[in-house]
Amino acid sequence: MKKALILILGVSLLALAGCIVSGTFVFTDSFELTIASGFSHDWVDITDESDWEDAKDDIDRIESIGLEVWFDNQSANSLTFDVYVSDPPEGAALNTTTVLTEGTLVIDDFTVPVGESHMSYANSFDFIQNVDKLKELAEGGQFHVYGIQGGSGTLVVDSAKVIITLNASATP
């Protein structure tokens, strides 16, 4: 008990003295996808946030990455929605064909019912796959995100958010 108390006191003093700095940061990047011909693209970039600038070199780990998406399926039938991500290459984003071969599938065949619907942040964890690749991309702070519609009809992504939670620590 005494050793634990001394250890806690020692760590507390180091933190107060400025020897250990750590924190958990949550970054959100919002975007809209207009599904044209069943395909859409956007760019996720959290590198322009001041907290990112302060923490980027001291990231210990990406804790979680989730999505929050609001859909408007204006079709007569349910549609599916896939999400892919890719590295931030120099120049243009990938096209539909290239995404399928070079992108990383993150959400596969999410069913979007007719009308307005919502994939909540908490619910997105049930559908996200290839988490390690997604975390790797998030650690860089920038990546491409692609939406691909399955089925014929009109699907609008009214709003979408990528929510990244990370831990960072440093010894000044």
Does residue 13 fall inside a structural domain?
no
Instruction: Tell me the per-residue pLDDT of 66-88, one tens digit each, with 9 for 90 and over.
Output: 889 999 998 899 999 999 998 87
Does residue 116 fall inside a structural domain?
yes
**Structural domains of the chain, count:** 1
Does residue 9 fall inside a structural domain?
no
How far apart (Å, rounded) are the C-alpha atoms in residues 133 and 21?
27
Phi, psi angle pair for 111, to nearest 5° = -80, 125
Does residue 77 fall inside a structural domain?
yes
How far apart (Å, rounded) are the C-alpha atoms in residues 57 and 170?
9
Instruction: Tell me the per-residue pLDDT of 125-156, one tens digit each, with 9 for 90 and over.
Output: 999 999 999 888 888 888 888 889 998 888 88
Domain that holds residue 131: 24-170
Instruction: Tell me the per-residue pLDDT of 113-129, one tens digit each, with 9 for 90 and over.
Output: 999 999 999 999 999 99
pLDDT of residue 172: 56
What is the pTM (predicted TM-score) of this model? 0.78
Does residue 15 fall inside a structural domain?
no
pLDDT of residue 17: 37
Does residue 4 fall inside a structural domain?
no
Does residue 1 fall inside a structural domain?
no
| CATH at 157 | 2.60.120.1570
Does residue 30 fall inside a structural domain?
yes
pLDDT of residue 104: 94
Contact 137, 92 (CB under 8 A): no
